Structure 1
């Protein structure tokens, strides 16, 4: 009895010992079944089986190896790839090159893990994933679109990145983006849809800004039982409240607006957005212009995010504003965006997990280069190039829950690799000079 009480089992006393034990075992089994739900599986790209695997052995020699883990670079390095996997990593001349291997001379180049994009939107733009792959993005996550939206890209015959898709985001009426949303009316509908999306191959669940914390909690509980992370775009639900409900990630630095201002001011913004989705477009800048991003509220929020291990994808490129060469400057937008960058830098300095998300199409980047622009903006915000590289590779792999096989250059990991001309540890813009891209051990650029 003492042991049972210690385990916290609240059972009635039964005099027959054997019967008593049987009840204990039955109760334990029932409890396990209730809490586990449907069996969770490893997170996979929906197109994983469609990606070819390299059959040859490739030796990449002479490169500066930047492993994605944040370790010291290996100068004049050598990486051996066989059957789509990394089988050896080290100094050139120390690593034994197998007989018959294809040798790639990479002197003057940096060798890195393929870039991972945490916030990609297709939006019906044909061949956009293929273009991103040519620019070094070997894995991407669309946090809010029907999986079928990518059918055309998967059937195009062109090499495309690994697709980690969410299916539509969960929103309430009236949804901001009806074509990309599944509208739920209560927690039961939300949970039902989470399981349906998990069955369809979703690798993440995204909650949109009209969902209250109570429904977010039920979504997170259901998703976590299926082994899926939950990320959220927040506007009218306060971030710490949503994270306490179970949220694993935050999309957009602007999702912290309610957390950083007095509640009486935040409620004005909140009611404006509840009345009109479009109120947030200019309203964000009005809010951020006034915020103290180094004050007590900012400190408390930052410490909270570190304690909770929350991932943050700032998507600064989606909000960037530059003074025009001609015409009048929108000083509110300019100041508001400056505050967004400053707060992003503070979060990283304090130890928050920052990841890189491109938002795909942004004002100040040419088609296909939004990811590189986001990396540059993160450096402008105070992150070092090394920190941005880790955020783009291994940290994003942890966010995706695929870090056991992707995100770094290590023995046993999948050979998704890029060769960059120049030194991205000194100049992050070197990522605009992608010379070779390997996906699953196959050169898909620069063969």
Structure 2
């Protein structure tokens, strides 16, 4: 059956010969709140995520951004089964026999977005769908229970799990005491432990993540051993400075906060001992004080930014999670429309985090947290200006970091930090694909690549917030979602 798909300015619609089924957020999540005005429209006879590509499909009339960094231009895209087979100027394919046509007039056609930093979490079946709803078709899990992650990838290959294409780091390599449970932590402490950890993970993970409790000597050991296997390493570090990890040859660094030990004056720094011996809320409160008093454009910050750029190590700032953690008393964050898309269990945990923060913080502490975040944002700007390789990741599902949708906020924050929308979207597609080792499959719209396609209404290169206007998402030629929109943040 041939079909014509289009979208109005007010709500996306799929036009077919059979009836449409409308699902409100309240249907998907009984605890949804009235402010979440999100509507999902699905074809009754072609369920999303059926695992069956549409056949030969023409996406016509849109402005095409291929992910390579060149500007979007009018072009049509032809898909056969799970692959892109041809791209041509608008109108060239008119009259060619196709099974389905997606009318993309007034829309921008992009590669599926890639989230470089997620944790699949406790509810992968629910969250997997959220990523796809938001146009995120691939992601890197940067720390979790290895057996669970490998089982999830097996389910995906069997068509039993619908979610982003996953790259995995497996357990965090950490020192004692660990921040996270033993099931997702590989504890090292003595010489040789790092090599042993890598030996046990080799062949089971795509990358390795080094965590906050690992000191410089063991970081060097882990990085060197991983290099022997050809496994990239990344780090969310505290006991090792970012500059030391770069000198050791680490492939990447996670979170803008990783710069803390390099740019915050030593006399203003606080130890992770506070985290373990008192509480995470008190540790973050005290940490923010030093961060807020730091010059993000000072000599130390500029030195680290230049080192990042010169080394080629990627830098994944995850600004959205840092903004959320600095704003747990802000109604704009805790009552954001997309929060209603999270499961009741997640919302309950996030509310408990808010309550715990309120018991340990004053109004002045919240103000300090906002200033500390602005320092982190400004340092990212320094890294961008220096030419660092920026990745785009969200760290979902941390508190109020909603899977999928939070990547759009990350794009907005990176633009605020200094990237152009074109640069940000290039980093979220081909840039992330290169860092994750999947650029041969996805990240650009090119003949022969998998048909991971995001279609949004409007022009995200004029206003990056237009990426939220998701109209259609294809993953490997399969329609994963059509027509969901979350209002842009003001």
TM interval, shorter chain, is 0.7 to 0.9
Aligned to 1:24: none
Judge conservation of contact 2:394–2:401 (CA < 8 Å) in 1: no
Aligned to 2:187: 183
SS at match of 1:72: coil
Give yes or no for the alignment of 1:220 onto 2:219.
no
Judge conservation of contact 1:269–1:283 (CA < 8 Å) in 2: no
Comparing 176-185 and 392-401, the one that deviates more: 176-185
Q: Could you report, residue by residue, the CA deviation over 1:308-359 in whole angstroms, capped at 9, with x for unpaired residues?
A: 0011111112221347469946221011011111111221122111111111
Q: Distance in 2 between matches of 1:187 and 1:203?
A: 24
Q: Distance in 2 between matches of 1:172 and 1:162?
A: 30
In structure 2, relative to structure 1, the CA distance for the partners of 1:109 and 1:303 (3 Å cut) is: same
Q: Distance in 1 between matches of 2:100 and 2:471?
A: 17
Aligned to 2:63: 64
TM-score normalised over the length of structure 1: 0.81
Q: Distance in 2 between matches of 1:317 and 1:368?
A: 12
Aligned to 2:368: 332
Deviation of 1:184 after TM superposition, in Å, equals: 1.8
Aligned to 1:89: 87
Quick one: which of 94, 109, 112 aligns to 1:111?
109
Judge conservation of contact 1:365–1:373 (CA < 8 Å) in 2: no
In structure 2, relative to structure 1, the CA distance for the partners of 1:298 and 1:158 (3 Å cut) is: same
Aligned residue-pair number: 395
Give yes or no for the alignment of 1:439 onto 2:438.
no
Q: Distance in 2 between matches of 1:280 and 1:379?
A: 30
Deviation of 1:365 after TM superposition, in Å, equals: 5.1
Larger RCO (CA within 8 A; separation ≥ 6): 2
In structure 2, relative to structure 1, the CA distance for the partners of 1:276 and 1:165 (3 Å cut) is: farther
Q: Distance in 1 between matches of 2:389 and 2:253?
A: 10
Q: Distance in 2 between matches of 1:84 and 1:183?
A: 41
Aligned to 1:405: 441
Judge conservation of contact 1:58–1:102 (CA < 8 Å) in 2: yes
In structure 2, relative to structure 1, the CA distance for the partners of 1:102 and 1:342 (3 Å cut) is: same
Deviation of 1:400 after TM superposition, in Å, equals: 0.7
Q: Distance in 2 between matches of 1:233 and 1:215?
A: 14
Judge conservation of contact 1:173–1:183 (CA < 8 Å) in 2: yes
Deviation of 1:305 after TM superposition, in Å, equals: 0.7
Q: How does 1:371-410 map to 2 (within 5 A)?
A: 371-410=407-446
Q: Distance in 2 between matches of 1:215 and 1:225?
A: 15
Judge conservation of contact 2:108–2:456 (CA < 8 Å) in 1: yes
Q: Distance in 2 between matches of 1:311 and 1:280?
A: 27
Give yes or no for the alignment of 1:257 onto 2:260.
yes
Deviation of 1:255 after TM superposition, in Å, equals: 0.5
TM-score normalised over the length of structure 2: 0.74
Judge conservation of contact 2:54–2:100 (CA < 8 Å) in 1: no
Deviation of 1:265 after TM superposition, in Å, equals: 4.3
Aligned to 1:305: 308
Q: Distance in 1 between matches of 2:399 and 2:197?
A: 34
Q: Could you report, residue by residue, the CA deviation over 1:119-158 in whole angstroms, capped at 9, with x for unpaired residues?
A: 1012213421222112111111111112322436837934
Deviation of 1:294 after TM superposition, in Å, equals: 0.9
In structure 2, relative to structure 1, the CA distance for the partners of 1:188 and 1:52 (3 Å cut) is: farther
Aligned to 2:19: none
Q: Which runs of 5+ in 1 are unaligned?
A: 1-49
Q: How does 1:22-101 map to 2 (within 5 A)?
A: 54=53, 56-75=55-74, 77-94=75-92, 98-101=96-99
SS at match of 2:202: helix
Judge conservation of contact 1:89–1:95 (CA < 8 Å) in 2: no
Judge conservation of contact 1:121–1:142 (CA < 8 Å) in 2: yes
Quick one: which of 462, 466, 490 aligns to 1:430?
466
In structure 2, relative to structure 1, the CA distance for the partners of 1:189 and 1:132 (3 Å cut) is: same
Q: Could you report, residue by residue, the CA deviation over 1:353-395 in whole angstroms, capped at 9, with x for unpaired residues?
A: 1111111134455565222222222223232222221121111
Judge conservation of contact 1:79–1:89 (CA < 8 Å) in 2: yes
In structure 2, relative to structure 1, the CA distance for the partners of 1:219 and 1:335 (3 Å cut) is: same
Q: Distance in 1 between matches of 2:465 and 2:447?
A: 28
Q: Distance in 2 between matches of 1:96 and 1:87?
A: 16
In structure 2, relative to structure 1, the CA distance for the partners of 1:95 and 1:353 (3 Å cut) is: farther
Deviation of 1:427 after TM superposition, in Å, equals: 1.9
Judge conservation of contact 1:257–1:287 (CA < 8 Å) in 2: no
Q: How does 1:171-320 map to 2 (within 5 A)?
A: 171-178=174-181, 179-200=183-204, 202-266=205-269, 268-269=270-271, 278=280, 280-320=283-323
In structure 2, relative to structure 1, the CA distance for the partners of 1:365 and 1:402 (3 Å cut) is: closer
In structure 2, relative to structure 1, the CA distance for the partners of 1:170 and 1:158 (3 Å cut) is: closer
Deviation of 1:78 after TM superposition, in Å, equals: 0.7
In structure 2, relative to structure 1, the CA distance for the partners of 1:270 and 1:58 (3 Å cut) is: same
Aligned to 2:354: none
Give yes or no for the alignment of 1:370 onto 2:406.
yes
Q: Distance in 1 between matches of 2:201 and 2:331?
A: 46
In structure 2, relative to structure 1, the CA distance for the partners of 1:334 and 1:363 (3 Å cut) is: same
In structure 2, relative to structure 1, the CA distance for the partners of 1:183 and 1:289 (3 Å cut) is: same
From the CA coordinates, give the structure whose radius of gyration is larger. Answer: 1
